[in-house]
Amino acid sequence: MAIENRYFDLTGRSALVTGAAGGIGSAVARAYAAAGAAVLVTDVDGAAAADVAEKITAEGGTAGSAALDVRDRAAADAAVAAAAELGDGTLHILVNNAGVTDPAMFADTTEDSIRRLIDIHLMGTFTCSQAALPKLATDGTGRIINVTSSAGIVGTLGQVNYSAAKAGIIGVTKSLARELARKNILVNALAPLAATPMTNTIRTDEKFAAQMLARIPLRRWAEPAEIAGAFVFLASDASSFVTGQVLPVDGGMVM
């Protein structure tokens, strides 16, 4: 008799993915749906989020959408409620992916820029996680998956604002993992590197692109779909004894 492999099966689970109108967020939402989850696709661009949800539905998956500015607690509460309704009143997976960049050398970095990136990345992670907590499953299937970056681990040139916000997310991840372990909720982070609109500035600048590729042992950028599998892992039973970790998915840049 063949052994049934259900390690990566998300059937019966609900997921809320922020910043999912494109790039990695969209790929993650589609991968979750393909694994059987019902997914609420959210983004500050509600129309673009709806387009992604419609594509998932057309492909045979289950998805809804909502406009969500992760800085808005009321909007986060509403999104969590909508996502939980996809899971019979329970939310199983929260992915805090929403983010922006605003690169500048330190001497030219403004207070407004730092505050904006911290508000979206760090405070957005806080806001959505706190909103999700009352609805998160406590039977071992509850997951918070945060998106950080190598910039938050080792720093990066010309992105003090982004690095600070992403480093803060690592701190939130580790502290929250310790606190929520008693509720059987797992909290982890991913540090991905992919060809997305957020990395377009670097990838299209010949000098910066060459410098970046020289730091990546695999000598290429990942496609968003290549990153999505790691998100499925952290959302699934395959990661049932993993919490408080930061997983780089970056072609070996951080090792």
CATH of the domain at 89: 3.40.50.720
Average pLDDT over residues 77-93: 97
Q: In total, how many domains does the chain have?
A: 1
Is 7 contained in some domain? Answer: no
Residues shown for the chain? 255
What band does 226 get if pLDDT is binned at 50, 70 and 90? very high
Which is more confidently placed, 64 or 199? 64
pLDDT of residue 74: 98
Is 249 contained in some domain? Answer: no
Is 109 contained in some domain? Answer: yes
* Helix count and strand count (H, E) for the chain: 10, 7
Is 115 contained in some domain? Answer: yes
Q: Is the dihedral of CA 130, 12, 247, 230 positive or negative?
A: negative
Is 63 contained in some domain? Answer: yes
Is 29 contained in some domain? Answer: yes
- Residues with catalytic annotation? 162
Which is more confidently placed, 255 or 118? 118
Is 199 contained in some domain? Answer: no
Average pLDDT over residues 37-46: 98
Average pLDDT over residues 14-36: 97
pLDDT at residue 1 is higher than 60: no
Structural domain of 104:
14-194+223-243
Residue 73 has which token pair?
A: 């607690």
Helix (H, G, I), strand (E, B) or coil at 16: strand
Q: Are 159 and 114 in contact (CB under 8 A)?
A: no
pTM: 0.94
Highest mean pLDDT pick, 14-18, 155-159, 200-204: 14-18
pLDDT of residue 28: 98
Residue 187: closest CA among 135, 236, 242: 242
Residue 24 has which token pair?
A: 């990695």
